[in-house]
Amino acid sequence: MNEYESLTQAVIKGDIQLAVSETRKYVDAGADVQSILDKGLIAAMDTVGENFSTGRIFVPQMLRSAKTMQECMNIIKPLFQEGDVTTKGTVVIGTVKGDLHDIGKNLVSMMLEGAGFAITDLGVDVPPDKFVQKAQEVGADVVGMSALLSITMPGMPATIEALTASGLKEKVKVIVGGAPVTEKYANEIDADGYAPDAATAVVEVKKLLGIS
């Protein structure tokens, strides 16, 4: 049995109070912080993503679990020394220029963070040059773009063109998603990946980076 099973189950159930108290308990007992992250929180979010993909839970439960995980992360993040935490990769994410919708993008951010990725969230209404600048700055492995309105979708190919012009397109993987976005559209604009929902986004990013 996983020694962090009580924490894992609290996150899966979205019980913020219990998960936070369990995290504090492990920290106070001197548990290895990376182990709390890997075996407690990431293990929980892997199960949450799987449960969502198979229809056992829905978006509200997934959001609740992701929020619970973030509250626990707030406790352990300050305990990591610079360069101490091992991440699976760095993702820059944002909603494209002209689009102010962020619920789907926020859920993808939380799920990716829960899966062990370092996230830089640029927010909404993000112009192409800002994606490029931040991707260069943080050494991104993946750039994720979201659009909820069909009229803002052209921000995606515009960003890919900007990444290509900067020479970054060869170094980063681009994944797109959002209600009007389709896999066909992703292929047309030369994106590397497409995800219809947050749980799939985690699977797709892992696949793009060759992570099992």
In this structure, is residue 70 part of a structural domain? Answer: yes
Assign 81 a pLDDT band (cuts: 50, 70, 90): low
- Mean of the per-residue pLDDT values for the chain? 93
Assign 78 a pLDDT band (cuts: 50, 70, 90): confident
Residue finishing a domain among 79, 114, 133 = 79
Distance CA 194, CA 204 (A): 7
Which pLDDT does position 80 carry in this prediction? 75
Which pLDDT does position 2 carry in this prediction? 75
pTM (2 decimals)?
Answer: 0.84
Query: Is residue 11 located within the same domain as residue 109?
Result: no
| Structural domains of the chain, count | 2
Query: Is residue 144 located within the same domain as residue 105?
Result: yes
Residue finishing a domain among 25, 44, 79 = 79
Which pLDDT does position 87 carry in this prediction? 82
- Quick one: average pLDDT of 75-98? 85
In this structure, is residue 31 part of a structural domain? Answer: yes
Which pLDDT does position 205 carry in this prediction? 97
- Provide the residue range defining the domain that includes 49: 5-79
**Cβ-based neighbours of 195, under 8 Å, separated by 6 or more:** 108, 175, 176, 177, 201, 203, 204
Query: Is residue 98 located within the same domain as residue 202?
Result: yes
Residue finishing a domain among 79, 111, 135 = 79
What is the CATH number for 186? Answer: 3.40.50.280
- Of 8-22, 53-67, 79-93, 172-186, minimum mean pLDDT range: 79-93
